[in-house]
């Protein structure tokens, strides 16, 4: 544990073990080095250090970074954190020049900088993995564009859709996740360096120039807020938790549809596991694990929000705990997105089972009610009429599309021979032409739109 001159005794060993963070915050080394190089450049521009000292600092930091990447760097828990480990190693290498690096800087604004650089980089990585997932979904949608299936509400068959329409819905969901990440990026893209411990420094550095060097669009406007702020961490973890939510719902659909009771699809051997006891089993463990890991993502969000809620303004050591939640959420979502992007193209889709389920005539009961509406019947009355027809057909064990016309007319004289055309699923879908509805024409247009959108996103990344 780092000791200042005002202490007469060393920290207790147990306190050092309890307080160290380098065992996990070492992951920020790349950003700590980057920030320190930019800070050294600012010190040189201000005349605080010489150009030669700046060169020594930069070369020394680059060498330390290479050692860390190679695994040769030895982290010392007694130096507490990633910042002091790197600074101590630098000073040992280059002497007094290294000792000058911390001029006009506190670990408070230093960690705030490292975290912002880390979150910015991880937002870009998660956005990239979201695009890979969306492309996998789009590929499935294009491959199975003509496959009919039931749409469900309350896990009960509701109305006919296509498998492609379902997959396109997932793409829309993950696009909102991407949009949230970009919003989070805008609030993360603020340089805190130069705020010091909480009140800046009497040594003036060109913060706007530092921001340009580090790729920030603007600088913080209040030094207390700059070292206090972890909103961007909370927001990023929320974004990751929401991605987990959407992956979990997708997992649930796929898990259910892979059961013998549904038989709509099958996971490939590469993304399934067996049973230690039952030799016939093929379990969708990757989807189940993803569904389960979402609970961890929610826990991380609750942890960071709870940690921050009772802190007085400015920096508090409690904020050291933000990294566990942040790193775990990043690792979890990155892995889940990678697995799903690889797993989805290998799904085996059982077209016949899906289409057989979609041929259930009850799925077109709403179409029958709308037929009556077009004939002038108020919708609520039409709804009740068709409900009575459905109830009678179920009681008599006669499919809805096979109820004799004479029986239908007992419920409404407006029902005529044209009713038979209602029970053609393909025709029913073709009529659903409103924006967002699952007509083949709409689906083809949406597939084309998403190809264009994802290509443009790749170009701008």
- Selecting among 154, 260, 276, 460, the annotated active-site residue is 154
What is the spatial distance between Cα 204 and Cα 86, in angstroms, rounded to a whole number? Answer: 24
- Per the document, the length of the chain is 461
- Concerning whether 165 is annotated as a catalytic residue, the answer is no
Cα dist from 158 to 164, 247, 258, whole Å: 17, 23, 19
Among 20, 224, 28, 7, CA closest to 116: 28
- Selecting among 23, 275, 426, 427, the annotated active-site residue is 275
- Concerning whether 154 is annotated as a catalytic residue, the answer is yes
Which residues are part of the catalytic machinery? Answer: 154, 275
């Amino acid at each position: 544990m780092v000791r200042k001159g005002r202490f007469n005794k060393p920290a207790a060993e147990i306190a050092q073990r309890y307080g160290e963070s380098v065992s996990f915050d070492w992951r920020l080394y790349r950003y700590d080095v980057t920030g320190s190089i930019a800070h050294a450049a600012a010190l040189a521009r201000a005349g605080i250090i010489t150009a030669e000292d700046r060169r020594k600092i930069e070369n020394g930091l680059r060498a330390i970074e290479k050692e860390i990447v190679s695994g040769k760097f030895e982290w010392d828990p007694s130096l507490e954190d990633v910042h002091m480990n790197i600074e101590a190693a630098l000073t040992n290498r280059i002497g007094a020049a290294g000792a000058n690096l911390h001029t006009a800087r506190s670990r408070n604004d230093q960690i705030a900088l490292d975290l912002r650089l880390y979150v910015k980089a991880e937002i870009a990585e998660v956005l990239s993995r979201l695009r890979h997932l969306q492309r996998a979904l789009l590929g499935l949608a294009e491959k199975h564009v003509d496959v009919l299936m039931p749409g469900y509400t309350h896990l009960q068959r509701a109305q006919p859709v296509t498998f492609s329409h379902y997959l396109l819905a997932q793409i829309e969901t993950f696009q909102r996740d991407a949009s949230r990440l970009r919003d989070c990026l805008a609030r993360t893209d603020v340089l805190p360096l130069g705020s010091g411990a909480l009140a800046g420094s009497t040594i003036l550095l060109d913060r706007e120039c530092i921001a340009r060097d580090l790729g920030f669009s603007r600088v913080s406007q209040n030094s207390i807020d700059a070292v206090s702020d972890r909103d961007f961490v909370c927001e990023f973890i929320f974004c990751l938790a929401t991605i987990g939510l959407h992956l979990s719902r997708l997992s649930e659909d796929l898990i259910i549809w892979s059961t013998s009771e549904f038989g709509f699809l099958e996971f490939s051997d590469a993304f399934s596991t067996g049973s230690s006891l039952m030799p016939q089993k093929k379990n969708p463990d990757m989807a189940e694990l993803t569904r389960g890991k979402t609970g961890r993502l929610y826990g991380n969000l609750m942890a960071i929000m709870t940690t921050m809620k009772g802190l007085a303004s400015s920096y508090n050591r409690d904020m050291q705990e933000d990294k566990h939640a942040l790193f775990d959420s990043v690792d979890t979502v990155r892995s889940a997105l990678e697995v799903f992007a690889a797993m989805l193209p290998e799904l085996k889709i059982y077209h016949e089972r899906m289409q057989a389920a979609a041929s259930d005539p009850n799925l077109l009961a709403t179409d029958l009610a709308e037929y009556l509406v077009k004939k002038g019947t108020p919708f609520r009355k039409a709804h009740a009429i068709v409900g009575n027809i459905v109830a009678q057909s179920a009681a008599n064990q006669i499919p809805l599309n096979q109820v004799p016309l004479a029986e239908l007319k007992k419920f409404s004289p407006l029902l005529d021979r044209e009713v038979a055309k209602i029970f053609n699923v393909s025709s029913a879908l073709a009529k659903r032409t409103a924006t967002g509805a699952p007509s083949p024409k709409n689906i083809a247009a949406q597939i084309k739109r998403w190809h264009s959108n994802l290509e443009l996103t790749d170009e701008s990344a």
